[in-house]
Amino acid sequence: MSYSAVPTLACAASAIPYPSVFGAEILGLSANLVQNFSRDVSDQLFYNHPSISLKGLDYCNVTVIYTHPGQNDTINVETWLPMKSWNGRLQALGGGGCVAGRFALTYTAMAGALGEGYVATTTDGGIGMSYVPDPWALNSPGNVNLYALQNFASVSLNDQSIIAKDVVNSFYGQSAKYSYWSGCSQGGRQGFMLAQRYPDAYDGIAAAAPAFNWGQFIPAASWTQVMMEVMGQFPPKCEIDTLTDAAVAACDPLDGVTDGLISDLAACSFDPFSMVGKIVNCTSTGKAVTISNASATIANLTWTGPRKANGEFLWYGVDYQARLTGSDAPQWTTADLGYASTTCSSNGTCVGVPTGLGEAWLKFFVKKDPKWNYTLIDSADEYARLFQAFVHQYDSIIGTSYADLSQFRDVGGKLITYHGLADGLIPTKGTSDYYDRAMELTPDVKDFFRYFEVPGLAHCAGGFGGQPTATFRALVDWVENGVVPETLPIKFNDTAGTQYDRILCPYPAKARLISNSSDVTKAASLFRFWFVA
């Protein structure tokens, strides 16, 4: 359904009343008409959606500035409203990295949502556009800016929903019929936070590769770099990549199809130490290298994840197909780095290259000292103490690990997430851990929450196995038409250029090769579903 065109005069600050948000004071509202807006939006940056091309659209950009009195904060909510052909729905777009929204990646997604006929909205969470928390984390050395952290973690997300819905109602003279959230990574964490704490905010949430379990995932992101410093070992990229390729080669056929993807992680086991002493040709340098014990050790501890010195589990590592030295995802921040990234000089001396996630958050939120550096950690036990301190202090604020989604269920909400099994930034096992806990707490969880594992997919996009661009469409069909997403379609090209059409099954279901299939590139002939307990 498409609604009538809105007169140009409606896009004026004087025509739009200030929204009302309990606990907030509106400082200002601006309205700017944008005409003849055109843009090509790639699915590689418009997560959950297919690519789309916009031609000559007109929209009204309404930006609301507000504060929470007594907290010395300033937050912006920006909403784009189509002047014609509005589909009657609102779509909020998430942030990425340490940015709440209102930056390049979010604006790309907002353009895509606008092209689909939605009102699109974003918030900066009051922390601005810095890709690192350095500018806002501390009020002063030793003192965390807790108001800013709370805004970033949760408060601004609910405010955004209230403000955007109010602006929609004022602008069109009617409320949005349905409201949705769409995001990946930080945007995924935000989506789950909304489902957990503000179940009335949105009817449907698409929250891919979620950066929830923030209390564990963030310090875990520094584990490999810390251990390389402690051990004094910084393996070159070629050796680590060779170990990754060997793991993929060993586990690829276990699902019945050799297609360059690890699809059955439960069956996958690989010992990197079996490669020690082997000589391989490094294509990036043209030189032969010998796989060292140090390389096997670093790869192994990255796969197994953080541990105390006695071996006690702290958190999950990334999976075997994750590029430990960097992802090919077309990202704007740390996704092009891997946990085991290094850089080497011409004389062969290598140093670690951290992602900047765990290291920065330990500095500002645990040590609370802008002069501290992760290289000062001298043992696995000291690392474990910092890890646990972060969990204890911040899990309840920004952790987003609360798995009881019964309130979201009770208001009729629907939630879909996907996560790539080659994600080198956020461990996929953290997402399956969350879903397992959600199933224990809410046995009917599959009636309103579906999770899809994506073989070969890197962080949000990229990798080798394609991405599920029909996710958001499936969410809308579920919310509005009751069509349960039993599968998601996906396609990819292998290194030889052969296209594969596949389907993804909702976790914990798995897809298996039909024994008499003659064409493994076709979804219809390739897979049947085996639900596992």
| Candidate list 58, 124, 252, 423, residue with the active-site label | 423
What integer is the mean pLDDT of 354-358?
92
- pLDDT for residue 92: 98
Judged by average pLDDT, the poorest of 125-129, 305-309, 336-340 is 336-340
Residue 495 burial (C-beta neighbours within 10 Å; 0-12, 13-18, 19+): exposed
Confidence band for 517, pLDDT divided at 50, 70 and 90? low
Would you say residue 229 has pLDDT above 60? Answer: yes
* Model confidence pLDDT, tens digit, residues 201-219: 999 999 999 999 999 999 9
Count of C-beta atoms within a 10 Å radius of residue 347: 5
- What is the sign, positive or negative, of the torsion defined by CA atoms of 517, 519, 522, 524? negative
What pLDDT digit, counting tens, does each position of 128-160 carry?
Answer: 988 899 999 999 999 999 999 999 999 999 999
The reported pLDDT for the residue numbered 533 is 38
Asked if 453 contacts 488 with a C-beta cutoff of 8 angstroms, the reply is no
Question: Rounded CA gap, 158 and 66, in Å?
Answer: 13
Q: What is the pLDDT of residues 406-441, one digit of tens each?
A: 999 999 999 999 999 999 999 999 999 999 999 999
Check residues 257 and 110 and name the one with the higher pLDDT: 110
Residue 530: per-residue pLDDT? 46
Burial (CB < 10 A; 0-12, 13-18, 19+), residue 333, is buried
185 is catalytic: yes
Per-residue confidence (pLDDT) for residue 519, from 0 to 100 = 66
Q: Let me know: does 397 contact 185? Beta carbons within 8 Å.
A: no
**Residue 528 in this model has a pLDDT that exceeds 70:** no
- In degrees rounded to 5, what are phi and psi of residue 482? 70, 20
Rounded CA-CA distance 91/166 in Å is 14
Closest-CA residue to 492 (of 451, 512, 533, 520): 520
Contact 111, 118 (CB under 8 A): no
Task: Determine the 3-state secondary structure of 498 from DSSP.
Answer: coil
Rounded to whole angstroms, the Cα distance separating 362 from 349 reads 27
Both structure tokens of 232: 């004094």
Check whether 294 has a pLDDT greater than 90: yes
* Residue 505: pLDDT over 80: yes
Provide the pLDDT confidence category of residue 529 given band limits of 50, 70 and 90. very low
Owner of token pair 């019964």 = 406
Q: Based on C-alpha coordinates, what's the Rg of the chain?
A: 23
Catalytic option among 154, 156, 161, 185? 185
Tokens describing residue 186: 């930080």
Among 119-128, 251-260, 364-373, the minimum mean pLDDT is found in: 251-260
The three-class DSSP label of residue 115 is: helix
What are φ and ψ of residue 213, in 5° steps? Answer: 55, 35
For all residues of the chain together, what is the average pLDDT? 93
pLDDT tens, position by position, 47-99? 999 999 999 999 999 999 999 999 999 999 999 999 999 999 999 999 999 99
Cis peptide before 508 (omega within 30 of 0): yes
**Longest alpha-carbon distance in the chain:** 73
pTM of the full structure: 0.95
DSSP-derived 3-state class of residue 128: coil
Cite the DSSP H helix spans in 286-405: 293-304, 358-361, 380-398
Confidence of residue 518 (pLDDT cuts 50, 70, 90): low
Weakest mean pLDDT among 106-110, 325-329, 497-501? 325-329
Q: Is 470 strand, coil or helix?
A: coil
**pLDDT computed for residue 532 by the predictor:** 46
Identify the pLDDT of residue 123.
98
- CA–CA separation, 323 and 80 (whole Å): 37
DSSP H helical segments within 453-507, as ranges? 471-481
Tell me: pLDDT of 494 over 90: no
> Ramachandran region of residue 126, left (φ > 0), alpha (ψ -120 to 50) or beta?
left
Q: DSSP characters for 24-49?
A: -EEEEEEEEEEEEEEEEE-TTTSTTS
CA distance 186 to 213: 11
Angle between helices 223-231 and 293-304 (to 10 degrees): 150
**Does the pLDDT value for residue 331 go beyond 60?**
no
pLDDT of 531 above 50: no
Which pLDDT belongs to residue 206?
98
Q: How far from 62 is each of 32, 74, 163, 466, CA to CA, in Å?
A: 7, 16, 11, 35
CA distance 390 to 385: 9
Cα distance between residue 395 and residue 390, in whole Å: 7
* pLDDT on residue 326: 85
Average pLDDT over residues 361-369: 98
Please check whether residue 299 is in contact with residue 244, taking contact to mean a CB–CB distance below 8 angstroms. Answer: yes
Model confidence over 231-261: pLDDT tens digits?
A: 999 999 999 999 999 999 999 999 888 889 9
What's the pLDDT at 1?
64
State the average pLDDT over residues 480-507. Answer: 90
423 is catalytic: yes
Mean pLDDT of 452-459: 96
Q: Give CA–CA dist 270/253, Å, rounded.
A: 13
| Encoded tokens for 231 | 């051990």
> For residue 333, what pLDDT is reported?
47
Percentage with pLDDT > 70 across the chain:
94
Query: Given this model, what pLDDT does residue 336 score?
Result: 64
Q: Is the pLDDT of residue 351 over 80?
A: yes
Spatial contact of 151 and 126, defined as CB atoms under 8 Å apart: yes
Q: What percent of the chain stands above pLDDT 90?
A: 85
Give the domains, in start order, of the chain with CATH numbers.
Answer: 8-215+399-483 (3.40.50.1820), 218-391 (no CATH), 494-533 (no CATH)
Catalytic residue flag (residue 419)? no
The pLDDT assigned to 496 comes to 76
Q: What is the pLDDT of residues 390-407, one digit of tens each?
A: 999 999 999 999 999 999
Residue range 331-343: average pLDDT? 74
What pLDDT is stored for residue 196 in this prediction? 98
Residue 332's pLDDT is 45
Kindly tell me the sign of the dihedral angle through the C-alpha atoms of 392, 148, 145, 381: positive
Cα-flanking dihedrals φ and ψ of residue 32, to 5°?
-130, 130
Nearest-CA neighbor of 320 among 219, 423, 217, 228?
423
CA distances from 398 to 190, 419, 436 (A): 10, 20, 20
pLDDT at 526 over 70: no
- Give me the pLDDT at residue 478, please: 98
